[in-house]
Structure 1
């Protein structure tokens, strides 16, 4: 099937079999390898991307469902030079170790803070509870997201 969607601000056209997941389309067809795939059951959150402003498990979404949508991967959150405020905060708070889960946490947190820049620590914990990290622990991740709220509040 031929589909078109806006990927990280660029209109993108791709031909995929009807049953191709969005994560496979992004990684294999469009070479956006920042979207990580682990469980392929929507449990771990590593494949999270933003579709029309919502955090979505791309392993559970078919690529054809993205037709006409705005899709943002972790690559689309990164400025041409330097890091985004959220990425800077992750660095400052040492909110990553191996980094495998980090793209999913960043996209999930970005979607949350874009919609709720005043999110409390409890709200951040609740939203991030769907993302799994096996090596960092969650305290530094929650603190990084909480600290990054300021940048989202200023952009409102």
Structure 2
């Protein structure tokens, strides 16, 4: 094994479980695992869980707070109107830069899968093309699913 996490607490309530990892796979999950690894980490009293999933996101609009202005009412209707104002200002580079920043933030907080809706009303499909490129770039560390 490459790595063993010792004495983990699991989401199902089990405590003191050793987790053996080989490559990118969990290969053992048991109390008092009788194996060694070059790297062993004591995670006593810490929760070890599967990665988080964000099942509903709008990555083409991420990190656009205040662009072109702030939603003063906080309502969905004003948010939709703001999106209409923002769309003509979008560039593929800006969409990609904000999306990649958000992806890094998400992974740093334990999210390893995101399902994002993407605006397909633009005849040029600017956001779709930009997010398809982001999907390729983050594929080694994040499962990004685009939904029209």
TM-score between both structures, scaled by the size of structure 1: 0.26
Q: Which has the larger radius of gyration?
A: 2
TM-score between both structures, scaled by the size of structure 2: 0.27
| Larger helix percent | 1
Q: Comparing both chains, which one has the higher relative contact order based on Cα–Cα distances under 8 Å and sequence gaps of 6 or more?
A: 1
| Larger strand percent | 2
